[in-house]
Amino acid sequence: MTTKKITEKKKEPHEKNILVFKKEIEKLKQELNEKNDKLLRSYADLQNYQKRIEKELICKDEETRKKYILEIIDLYELLQKAYENSNPKDGIQAILQNIQHLLEIEQVTVIDSLGKSFDRFYHYAISTVEKNDYEDGKIVDEIKKGYMICNKILRPSQVVVVKNIIKKEGD
C-alpha cells in the first residue's frame, strides 16, 4: 500500500507537468500562429501601401505637369499674339515680365557667373582658356545660364574658366 502510494505520488506531478507543458505548447503554438499571421498581414499592408504611394506619385506628377503645361499654354498664346502684331516689342516685354513673375513666384534665381571664381557647386566647367590678364579660375564666358530654385541648384551654369599655363621662368 505504502509503496504504491509513493509511486502514485511520484507519478502524479509528472503527469501534471506533462499536461501543463502540453497546454503551454498549445498556447505558444497558437500565439506563434497569430504572430505569424500578424507579420504577414503587416507585410502585405506595407506592400499595398507601396502600391498606393506609387499610384499617388503618378497622379501627383500628372497634376504638376498639368499646372505647368497650362502656364506654358498661356505664354504660347500670348507669344502668338505678339507674332501676329506688326510691332511686337512692347507685347513681348510684357510677356517676358510675366515669365519673370512666374519664376519669382517659384523662387527661381539666376546664378551669377561672369567674372566670378569657378565654384563647382554652382558652375559646370565646359572649357578652359588661357588669358594672362585674368586670374586663374575666373569665369570669362557663360555658355548657358544657371539657375537656383528655393536655394537648391536647378541647373549649374555652364562656363568657360581661365587656366593659365604656369610660366617656368617665374619659378
String of contacts with other proteins for each residue 67-106, x by CB under 8 A: ----------------------------------------
* Residues of span 14-53 touching other proteins by CB under 8 A: 37, 39-41, 43-52
* Residues of span 99-158 touching other proteins by CB under 8 A: 118, 120-121, 123-128, 137, 141, 143-144, 153, 156, 158
Closest by CA position to 112, among listed 73, 145, 72, 63: 145
CB of 109 or CB of 128, closer to other proteins: 128
Q: Mapped to the 3 state alphabet, what secondary structure does 91-139 carry?
A: HHHHHHHHHHHHHHHCCEEECCCCCCECCCCCEEEEEEECCCCCCCCEE
C-alpha cell at 28: 505558444
Question: Would you put residue 40 in left (φ > 0), alpha (ψ -120 to 50) or beta?
Answer: alpha
CB of 43 or CB of 68, closer to other proteins: 43
What residue ranges bind other proteins (CB under 8 A)? 37, 39-41, 43-52, 118, 120-121, 123-128, 137, 141, 143-144, 153, 156, 158, 160-161, 163
